[in-house]
A and B are shown apart, each in its own frame.
Chain A
Amino acid sequence: MHAATDRIGASTAIQVADVSKTFDTAAVLHQLSLDVQAGELLALLGPSGSGKTTLLRIIAGLDHPDSGRIIFGGEDATGLPVQQRAVGFVFQHYALFKHLTVADNIAYGLNARERKRRPPKAEIKNRVGNLLDLVKLSGFASRYPSQLSGGQRQRVALARALAVEPRVLLLDEPFGALDAQVRKDLRRWLREIHDRTGQTTIFVTHDQDEALELSDRVAVLDKGRLQQVGTPDEVQEQPVSPTVLKFLGDAVEVSAVARDGGVEVNGRATPVQAPANSGRDLKLYVRPWQIRLTRPDDAHFVAIVQSSYRTQGRQRIEVEGPDRKPFVVESPDSVRFSVGEPVGLEIIGGYPFDAALR
Chain B
Amino acid sequence: MGYTLMILGLVVLLPLAALVLRASGTGLGGIWSVATDPRVGSALRISFGTSFLAALVSTTFGSVVAWVLSRYDFPGRRLVDAAVDLPFALPTAVAGIALASLYAPNGLIGSMLSRIGIEVAYTPVGILIAMIFIGLPFAVRTVQPLILELDREIEEASATLGASRWHTISRIVLPPLIPAVLTGFALAFARGVGEYGSIIFIAGNLPYVSEIAPLLIVIKLSEFDYAGAAAIASIMLVISFATLLLINLIQAWSRRRFGHV
Residues of A near any B CB (own CB < 8 A): 60-62, 82-89, 91, 93, 95-99, 108-109, 112-113, 144-147, 157, 160-161, 163-164
Contacts and interface: CB of A to CB of B under 8 A. Distances in A.
Interface string B27-50: 000000000000000000000000
B214 interface: no
B80 interface: no
Contact of B176 (A99, A108, A161): A99
A95 B157 contact: yes
A108 B161 contact: yes
B163 interface: yes
Contacts of A161: 160-161
Given A91-B153, A97-B157, A146-B261, 12 more contacts: A60-B160, A83-B160, A87-B160, A89-B156, A91-B157, A93-B151, A96-B157, A98-B260, A99-B175, A99-B258, A108-B163, A112-B164
A146 B259 CA distance: 10
Given A99-B176, A99-B258, A83 B157 contact: no
Nearest to B151: A95
A97 B154 contact: yes
Contacts, number: 74
Given A91-B153, A95-B153, A112-B167, A62 B260 contact: no
A82 B258 contact: no
A108 B158 contact: yes
Nearest to B160: A89
Indicate the member of B154, B157, B164, B259 with the most A CB atoms within 10 Å. Answer: B157
18 contacts: A83-B159, A83-B162, A84-B162, A85-B160, A88-B160, A91-B153, A95-B154, A98-B176, A98-B261, A99-B259, A99-B260, A99-B261, A108-B161, A112-B158, A112-B161, A146-B260, A147-B260, A163-B161
B254 to A, nearest CB: 10
A89 B171 CA distance: 19
A109 B158 CA distance: 8
- Please list the 5 inter-chain residue pairs (A to B) with the smallest Cβ-Cβ separation, ordered nearest first: A109-B161, A112-B163, A144-B260, A95-B153, A89-B160
B127 to A, nearest CB: 37
A272 B199 CA distance: 91
Interface in B223-261: 257-261
B191 to A, nearest CB: 29
A99 B257 CA distance: 7
B153 to A, nearest CB: 4
